[in-house]
Structure 1
Amino acid sequence: MARSRTGTALATVGLVVALAGLGSTALASAPTASAAAPDLTAVFSQSSVWNTGYGARYVITNRGDAASTGWVVEFDLPPGSRVTNSWSSVRTQIGQHYRFTNAGHNGDIAPGAAEDFGFNVAGLGVPVNCTVDGKPCGGAAPTTVPPTTTPSPTTAPPTTPPPPTTPPAGPVVDVSTAAQLQAALAAAQPGHTIRLAAGTYRGSFLTRRAGTATSRITLTGPRTAVLINDGPTGTAPSCPVPTAGWDSGYGLWLFDAPYWNLTGFTVAESKKGIVLDNSQHVTIDGVHVHHTDEEAVHFRRSSADGIIRNSTITDTGLTQPGYGEAVYLGSAQSNFGCHGNSGGVDRSDRVQVLNNDIGPNVTAEHVDVKEGTEGGVIRGNRFNGQGISGANSGDSWVDAKGNGYLIEGNTGTFRAPGTFANGYETHNLLDGYGCGNIWRHNTSDLGGVGRYAVYVSSTSRCAANPNLVYASNTVTNAVTGLTNINVTP
């Protein structure tokens, strides 16, 4: 293609020379070569919607014939709506007008390629008057919604939004007692929705029923529908599997139960909160888990491709502080004998932890990424480290012992009491793991106690797949600084 453009340019030069004596009018009509240039469009989409806001992103595509070196996307939001946080971009604002420029890693877009950035909005107004590099965004971005279509909220949006209120598409089973809930979980079929009434449900709540990719099973209810398991009771098996005469003590247990939606309700006062075993593609949205003896939410036994978002977790590890993780991804190597059902390893891979409020009084890591897992995303969360115990090495918001996690756009704080070493840490407990993780656009306040925002335990053990800490991360009140490794621009 470069050769063709060169030939055109030479032909044009020859034509201009030949016409030199014919006057300016003739010269003006001569063809000219067009330089290669980027041509960017920006397409808006909503990734999740709740009663008082939504999460969204713009995908920026280069339709031109040269790579871009950067981009600027601008839009207006109607009164009553505001961007609360964003990632993979640099945001500025004047009134209701927002301007996003590329981050260090995503301004260079090759022809035919695309990059994106994301943000959360309090309020339901969508962007209008969108431009990219000063030109209309084009594509599917909404540009004609009048600002008056979205009323201003009369109260401030909650810290954690409730889940979407889309009516269920399949058969609905309404339950209002523990016995009804147990029966519905045991009999659930693809496409069913189990709808909880407000109230307290005490008992052992287990399902082994599978949904499908095209027909998921949903358990939904209001925040005032509270599941409590007063167990455990009976004789436990050597490995946790559903066993007659044994109550696990888990608030809600999905075993061999993929493709579920869990939305809106509360799990409390149980040994563990929500446990997923060999249950892939489960979405947990807008739940509240609190006052658990051990961890709050556990993706275990190769429960891959799950999501936990828009949820609130507090007060964990009441009896075993060192096991009071808020979100636990995978299993420790010492437990592969029970949970290593994928080639001897617990492959709870590609789990996304998005836009959650975690803490205070979470006594261990807010997200514990175990060795053997890969490819997850931890984005847009708010970590409150007050009350972290330091027991069993639980002294950071996130401990990344897995590979290839994107840790982006989170806000972390720490205030006494508690034992706090660093905001984010890596460890190499399994050969080849604890590597290739990326930190971008995280904001860390270490409370004058934590040493580093991101502490990488070893560079030599990850020489072929290094961990990267980008300069877009910021830290305040650190004893030492941003990170103990070289910062990536």
Structure 2
Amino acid sequence: MRPLRAAAVTLAAALLGAAVPYLLTPAHAAGPVLTVTVTQVSTWSSGYGADVTITNSGDAAATGWTVEFDLPAGTTVSSSWSATRTQTGQRYRFVNVSWNGTVNPGASQTFGFNAAGLGLPLNCTVNGGACGGGPAPSASPSRTAGPSASPSAPASPSASPSASPTSTPPPNGPVVDVATAAQLTSALNSAVPGAVIRLATGTYRGAFTTTRPGTASLPITLTGPRSAVLINDGPSGTAPSCPQPTAGWDSGYGLWLFNAPYWKLDGFTVAESKKGIVLDNSHHVTISNVYVHHTEDEGVHFRRSSADGVIRDSVIEYTGLVQPGYGEGVYLGSAGSNWACHGNSGGVDRSDRVQVLNNRIGPYVAAEHIDVKEGTFSGVIRGNTFDGRGISGQNSADSWIDVKGIGYVIENNTGTFASPGTFVNGYETHNPTTTPAFLNGCGNVWRGNSSNLGGVGQYAIRITSTSKCAGNLNVVYASNTVTSATVGLTNIAVTP
């Protein structure tokens, strides 16, 4: 396994404009004393992700917290989690949600955010005082300035900077705080509907699997900061003929939900595992703000009819380190040749209606950034950023997305390619024959996508066949754009 690349870089000194972190506290204080540390846990060319830790060094519990800071012009908070966010100009305000407002003496709470742009926070306060202790920093012009101009680089991975403030709903079941692999294993094995499992910062090594279902009204939540890292050093033992949790066998998956619908996975990291996050017969699962990297095979797999799921605001990179041709970023469904194992819906893997939203996928995703398999229907792929560097060309992996499914909407994505890698087209369709028969690779729609093919790719969108899609044609709208293509936008007639 390659070493973990997400080493945290503490930004506290930069935030204060001094060479010491935000940990200066009085020797003694009556009541709560809150300090704040901001840690950059991932970076990319146009932004970064950060965890914010609020620590109480006082002698009484704090019953609520408000963290505020400025960002320089050209940098915005594009998404956040575990706090309610508001904004005035370049000044951002984060208030605890109902379940993480209490900070006991010697304990801490966390929230996180993604930034579009590379500017670091300034003038940080917590409950009106300086984040490092002492009086609040003097006001800066940016606190009262009007809205800033949009950043020059696209937000990635994020929702639009103008999106509504995000917040985490209060738990409806027990809250379980875990800090060790054994505690996490126990919590996954005993989770009940409505439970919230909260990961502390740290590295968790083991085989993390759950078969515990949530419900529509009481989903189960697994949440933690980016600095909570799940690693599976497997696989080991003798595998069953079809993958399922089996005594004596370690799948090697970083996190595996099996027959476990209605979960929410938020904020943490999965790394250095055979596969990243795998969902089997686990419908209505929402994955948000996760970081998946350095996997031997694929990053995230919706499999065995894991329908109605969502993956959003996440980062997936460095996949396929051992098997490049199987190193997809996001894998929706299963190949027809694997339906004997995963075809649990009338013989078909119906991982339908999955939404892939506002993620950054790549660089060094060795296979397709998103592989949409035959027999799946009606998903949405929107607002993602694809970085094609490192795509391998193995096992026909030579495009950002290969669509073999039916009725997908693919819109407002941005894709780029630059060496190294093997790249043929930005988006492709294929039409495999299956039993039962479907019009695979048909009825899909592309609009508003921006493609830079790096002077290497032929078409932004290449439709393999029109005759096989009679009555359910693929549609490419004129709102799609392409630059640096060797041929052009698409090989079919464009719809105005």
2:156 counterpart residue number: 159
Pairing 1:452–2:459 present: yes
Distance 1:265 1:152, change over 3 A: farther
Counterparts of 1:153-192 in structure 2, within 5 Å, are: 159-161=156-158, 164-166=166-168, 168-170=170-172, 171-192=174-195
Pairing 1:256–2:281 present: no
2:120 counterpart residue number: none
Q: Is the 8 A contact 1:168 1:193 kept in 2?
A: no
Structure 2: distance between partners of 1:451 and 1:383: 17
Listed one character per residue, the Cα deviations across residues 146-194 of structure 1 (whole Å, up to 9, x for unaligned) are x9899879x9897335995526323210000000000000000001000
Structure 1: distance between partners of 2:235 and 2:115: 41
1:442 counterpart residue number: 449
Structure 2: distance between partners of 1:330 and 1:426: 15
Give, as a single letter, the amino acid of the residue that structure 2 aligns with 1:448: G
Q: Deviation of residue 470 (structure 1)?
A: 0.3
Q: Is the 8 A contact 1:300 1:329 kept in 2?
A: yes
Three-state SS of the structure 1 residue aligned to 2:294 is strand
1:425 counterpart residue number: 428
Pairing 1:368–2:371 present: yes
Q: 1:335 aligns with which of 333, 338, 357?
A: 338
Q: 2:212 aligns with which of 209, 214, 217?
A: 209
2:298 counterpart residue number: 295
Three-state SS of the structure 2 residue aligned to 1:338 is helix
Structure 2: distance between partners of 1:248 and 1:349: 25
Give, as a single letter, the amino acid of the residue that structure 1 aligns with 2:264: N
Distance 1:54 1:234, change over 3 A: closer
**Bigger Rg over Cα:** 1
Listed one character per residue, the Cα deviations across residues 13-32 of structure 1 (whole Å, up to 9, x for unaligned) are xxxxxxxxxxxxxxxxxxxx
Structure 2: distance between partners of 1:330 and 1:467: 20
Three-state SS of the structure 2 residue aligned to 1:425 is strand
Q: Is the 8 A contact 1:360 1:385 kept in 2?
A: yes
Q: 1:488 aligns with which of 461, 472, 495?
A: 495
Structure 2: distance between partners of 1:383 and 1:350: 21
Distance 1:342 1:150, change over 3 A: farther
Q: Deviation of residue 230 (structure 1)?
A: 0.2
Q: Deviation of residue 463 (structure 1)?
A: 1.4
Structure 2: distance between partners of 1:288 and 1:395: 23
1:469 counterpart residue number: 476
- Structure 1 stretches lacking a partner, 5+ long: 1-49, 56-76, 82-119, 124-146
1:278 counterpart residue number: 281
Structure 1: distance between partners of 2:290 and 2:469: 36
Counterparts of 1:68-107 in structure 2, within 5 Å, are: 79-80=89-90
Q: Is the 8 A contact 1:271 1:292 kept in 2?
A: yes
Three-state SS of the structure 2 residue aligned to 1:457 is coil
Q: Deviation of residue 227 (structure 1)?
A: 0.1
Normalised by the length of structure 2, the TM-score is 0.69
Distance 1:446 1:248, change over 3 A: same
2:234 counterpart residue number: 231
Listed one character per residue, the Cα deviations across residues 429-479 of structure 1 (whole Å, up to 9, x for unaligned) are 135110000000000000000000000000000011000000000000000
Q: Is the 8 A contact 1:54 1:122 kept in 2?
A: no
Structure 1: distance between partners of 2:220 and 2:296: 28
Measured on the aligned residues, the alpha-carbon RMSD in Å equals: 2.7
Q: Percent identity?
A: 69
Normalised by the length of structure 1, the TM-score is 0.70
Listed one character per residue, the Cα deviations across residues 294-332 of structure 1 (whole Å, up to 9, x for unaligned) are 000000000000000000000000000000000000000
Structure 1: distance between partners of 2:248 and 2:291: 29
Listed one character per residue, the Cα deviations across residues 405-426 of structure 1 (whole Å, up to 9, x for unaligned) are 0000000000000000100000
Give, as a single letter, the amino acid of the residue that structure 2 aligns with 1:295: E
Q: Is the 8 A contact 2:387 2:416 kept in 1?
A: yes
Structure 2: distance between partners of 1:204 and 1:54: 30
Structure 1: distance between partners of 2:402 and 2:357: 16
Aligned pairs, how many? Answer: 358
